[in-house]
Amino acid sequence: MYDFAYHKPSSLADAVKLLAEDPDAKPISGGMTLLPALKHRLNMPTALIDLSGIAELRGIKREGDAIVIGAMVKHFEVATDPQIMAAIPALARMAATIGDTQVRNRGTIGGSLANNDPAADYPAAALALGATLITDRRQIPADDFFVGMFTTAMEPGELLIGVSFPIPEKAGYAKLRNPASRYSMTGVFVAKGPKGVGVGVNGAASCAFRQKEMEAALAANWSPEAVANIRQPANDLNSDIHGSAEYRANLVTVMAKRAVADAG
């Protein structure tokens, strides 16, 4: 194992300062992706900046018509928080299906959103619900945040501190998990809110995306049948040893149908 420095700041300001001082330093939250990457030598930072000691990054609160979740909130907390379960139960249910028990008790919502793994669950929810991503320096709408595979609109040194989800009228989620890795092969999050209908898709492409044809269909007729015959073009979808692009295209339709049924 190679050497690196380890810092555990207790304030956001200290964390941002440490990151600014060393461009090769990396923040670490749950470490669900970064630690394996270090072990595989895919990433060799000079320093790890552990965010777990920063109180400003924790906590779940209701602010008006939105639920605001701190970046360091763990999946298990999202899955079991009474406020989230009451306001956006689909989000809690989604969190309960991430990885396994160990992952849910280590991994964080901020880490997942900032990492933007194509198969991560939360980006689809953020897109469908019209969430706002809050960083140390600005607020970014979900539509602008998820830029591409493992890529977000955040700049080097910028820290995600939380995410604000508008409370929908109803929402639902369905995914097909790879039975071995339990990553999402394709998941669809549907939401009907004050600003309209959102359909977010994860796992299918290089980056989570909105399925606008389905959004229009559900806006006109909120029912599983409304999306049952909408075919997602396979052109830009992932094809790998777990499933072809055509198979994932089919999954988008099936999961959308099941997500609407889940939403009720």
Partner 1 sequence: MSETRQMRHGSSIGQPVTRRDGLLKVTGQARFAADNHPAGLLHAVLAVSRIARGRVAALDLPAARAHPGVVEVMVTANRLALALHPDDKSVPFSFKLDLLQDDRVRYAGQPIAVVIAATLEAATEAAALLAPRYEAGPVEVTLDAPGGYVPESVGVGDPGEMRHGDVEAGLRAAARRIEATYETPLQFHNAMEPHGVVAAWEGDALSLDMPTQGLALTRMRLAALLGIRAEDIHIRSPFIGGGFGSKLLSGPQVLGILAARLVGRPVKLVLTRAQMYGPVTHRSPTRQTLRLGAARDGALTAIHHHVRTATSRHDDFLEPSAGVSHTLYAAPAIATTNEAVRLDTGTPGFMRAPGEASGSIALESAIDEMAHACGMDPLEFRLRNYAEVEPVSGKPFSSKALRECYAEGAARFGWAGRPLAPRQMRDEDGLLVGWGVGTATFPAIMFQAEARAVLRRDGTGLVESGTHDMGQGAWTAFAQIGADSLGLDLDRLEFRAGHSDLPNAGIAGGSGHTATAGGAIHAAGAQAIARLTEIAVADPRSPLFGAGNVGVVARGGRLLRRDDESRGEAYADILARAGLDSVEGRGSAAADPAAAERYAMHAHGAVFAEVKVDPELGQIRATRLVGAFAAGRIINPRLVRSQYYGGMIWGLSFALHERAAMDPRTGRVMNADLAEYHVPVNADVPSVEAILVEEQDPHVNALGIKGVGEIGITGTAGAIANAIWHATGTRIRRFPVAIEELGR
Return residues touching partner 1 (CB under 8 A).
1, 41, 176, 179-181, 241, 243-244, 246-247, 250-251, 254
Nearest-approach distance from CB 240 to partner 1, in angstroms: 9
Nearest-approach distance from CB 100 to partner 1, in angstroms: 13
What residues contact residue 71 under an 8 Å CB cut-off, 6+ apart?
29, 51, 57, 108, 109, 110, 111, 113, 114, 159, 160, 161, 162, 163
Q: Residue 59 — left, alpha, or beta (φ > 0 → left; ψ -120 to 50 → alpha)?
A: left
Judged by CB, which is closer to partner 1: 100, or 155? Answer: 100
Judged by CB, which is closer to partner 1: 13, or 44? Answer: 44
Judged by CB, which is closer to partner 1: 156, or 241? Answer: 241
Buried b (16+ CB within 10 A) or exposed e, 108-122: bbbbbbbbbbbbbbb
Judged by CB, which is closer to partner 1: 21, or 246? Answer: 246
Q: How far is residue 258's CA from residue 242's CA, in Å, rounded to a whole number? A: 21
Q: How far is residue 27's CA from residue 47's CA, in Å, rounded to a whole number? A: 8
Inter-residue contact 162 to 70 (CB < 8 Å)? yes
DSSP calls for 85-118: HHH-HHHHHHHHTSS-HHHHHH-BHHHHHHHT-T
Nearest-approach distance from CB 247 to partner 1, in angstroms: 3
Judged by CB, which is closer to partner 1: 64, or 235? Answer: 235
Nearest-approach distance from CB 251 to partner 1, in angstroms: 7
Judged by CB, which is closer to partner 1: 8, or 247? Answer: 247
Nearest-approach distance from CB 224 to partner 1, in angstroms: 12
Give the type of residue at 117: D
Q: How far is residue 67's CA from residue 125's CA, in Å, rounded to a whole number? A: 13
Nearest-approach distance from CB 239 to partner 1, in angstroms: 10
